């Protein structure tokens, strides 16, 4: 059992799959000798060499164009887009080519491609380098979308993503790179489309993703001291979505809160709230509440970023108010 940081777990997960399958290769900007701007690919160039760890120019279109071609011709590439904000530069390739190729060829061409990217705020990087774009991705048919919150999940979900025959957008939360957790030795393979109950509870269901999982757990501990027993579920995978785990919890507790780093308009929690309203309406004891970032670009100033991102205190206040209804 090793104690790994979240960033080390990214490298561990990629190395596991590259060692297992020689078709797996890594392509992106500064991912070779530099080990990645966030050091998530450190050591891979030395271990696997320049033919399998390929540095590219600063061109997101070139990275994904090359990765798509590699996937179509039998390789299983992992492509890095350094910041998820930069998907805007190459979104046409993702949406109109990568996501649709298997469908448009009637399954004759598979697309076993993982696109990994640093996602989310909390590091004071400003509006163009701090976005959470899971809601962009989950709106596109043909893409799988995952966001791990622990080092163990990073390794297991990376393995599951690499082994998928469909394209997977793998969002690594930048604010979690330094966090640490225990990761067992040996091969680790998780399953896409499975949520994780991080804390069982009976009074309310709180759904969270990425950085927000830790904040939801912190809020649950505070609320427990007031006699409010909150179940915290790490959604982990938005596409496919584990509706069975989510709806079972919501029906049992009768109260649903989502904690979303996305801007409020069309966030992932809105879709889950819609599903819950359809499937669990008569089990709900209160209106569904979404705890989100306002619909604004994320500020870079410390105090302003802290004010707009969902915090432990805001989660506590909203859950306390909802449970008291």
Q: What does the alpha-carbon distance between residue 280 and residue 250 come to, in Å, rounded to a whole number?
A: 7
Q: Is the dihedral of CA 64, 268, 178, 22 positive or negative?
A: negative
CB contact at 8 A, 115 and 169: yes
Closest CA to 267 of 298, 295, 304, 247: 295
Q: What does the alpha-carbon distance between residue 137 and residue 98 come to, in Å, rounded to a whole number?
A: 12
Tell me: cis bond preceding 16? Omega within 30 of 0 counts: no
pLDDT by residue, tens only, the chain of 325 residues: 889 999 999 999 999 999 999 999 999 999 999 999 999 999 999 999 999 999 999 999 999 999 999 999 999 999 999 999 999 999 999 999 999 999 999 999 999 999 999 999 999 999 999 999 999 999 999 999 999 999 999 999 999 999 999 999 999 999 999 999 999 999 999 999 999 999 999 999 999 999 999 999 999 999 999 999 999 999 999 999 999 999 999 999 999 999 999 999 999 999 999 999 999 999 999 999 999 999 999 999 999 999 999 999 999 999 999 998 6
CA distances from 175 to 36, 130, 231, 261 (A): 16, 10, 23, 12
Which position among 7, 129, 194, 290 bears the catalytic label? Answer: 129
Q: What does the alpha-carbon distance between residue 82 and residue 69 come to, in Å, rounded to a whole number?
A: 20
For 61-76, the DSSP string reads: HHHHHHHHHHHHTT-E
Q: Supply the pLDDT for residue 71.
A: 98
CB contact at 8 A, 13 and 158: yes
Lateral strand order in the sheet of 237-239? 53-55, 24-28, 76-83, 114-119, 168-173, 144-146, 237-239
Q: What are the structure tokens assigned to 141, written together?
A: 């048919």
Q: What are the structure tokens assigned to 215, written together?
A: 């904040």
Question: Is the overall model pTM greater than 0.95, yes or no?
Answer: yes
Structural domains of the chain, ranges and CATH numbers in brackets: 2-183 (3.40.50.970), 196-323 (3.40.50.920)
CB contact at 8 A, 308 and 296: yes
Confirm whether 173 is a catalytic residue: no
Q: What does the alpha-carbon distance between residue 99 and residue 119 come to, in Å, rounded to a whole number?
A: 20
Q: Pairing state of beta strands 114-119 and 76-83? A: parallel
Phi and psi for 187 in degrees, rounded to 5? Answer: -70, 135
Q: What does the alpha-carbon distance between residue 319 and residue 208 come to, in Å, rounded to a whole number?
A: 13
């Amino acid at each position: 059992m090793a104690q790994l940081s979240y960033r080390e777990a990214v490298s561990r997960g990629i190395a596991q799959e590259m060692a297992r399958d020689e078709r797996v290769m890594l392509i992106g900007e500064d991912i070779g000798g530099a080990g990645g701007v966030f050091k998530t690919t450190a050591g891979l160039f030395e271990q696997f060499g320049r033919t399998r760890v390929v540095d590219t120019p600063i061109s997101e279109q070139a990275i994904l164009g090359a990765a798509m071609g590699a996937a179509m011709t039998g390789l299983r590439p992992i492509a890095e887009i350094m910041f998820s904000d930069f998907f805007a530069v190459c979104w046409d390739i993702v949406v109109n080519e990568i996501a649709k190729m298997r469908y448009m060829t009637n399954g004759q061409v598979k697309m076993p491609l993982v696109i990994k990217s640093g996602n989310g705020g909390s590091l004071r990087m400003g509006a163009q380098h701090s976005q959470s774009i899971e809601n962009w991705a989950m709106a596109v048919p043909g893409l799988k979308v995952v966001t791990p919150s622990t080092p163990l999940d990073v390794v297991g979900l990376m393995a599951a993503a690499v082994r998928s025959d469909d394209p997977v957008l793998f969002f690594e939360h930048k604010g979690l790179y330094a966090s640490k957790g225990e990761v067992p030795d040996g091969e680790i393979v998780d399953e896409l489309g499975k949520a994780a109950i991080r804390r069982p509870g009976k009074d309310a269901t709180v759904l969270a993703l990425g950085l927000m999982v830790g904040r939801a757990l912190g809020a649950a501990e505070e609320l427990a001291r007031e006699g409010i027993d909150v179940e915290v579920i790490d959604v982990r995978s938005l596409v496919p979505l584990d509706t069975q785990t989510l709806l079972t919890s919501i029906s049992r507790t009768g109260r649903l809160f989502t904690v979303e780093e996305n801007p409020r308009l069309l966030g992932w929690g809105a879709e889950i709230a819609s599903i819950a309203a359809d499937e669990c309406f008569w089990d709900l004891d209160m209106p569904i509440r979404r705890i989100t970032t306002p619909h604004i670009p994320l500020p870079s100033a410390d105090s302003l970023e802290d004010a707009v991102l969902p915090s432990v205190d805001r989660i506590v206040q909203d859950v306390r108010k909802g449970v008291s209804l």
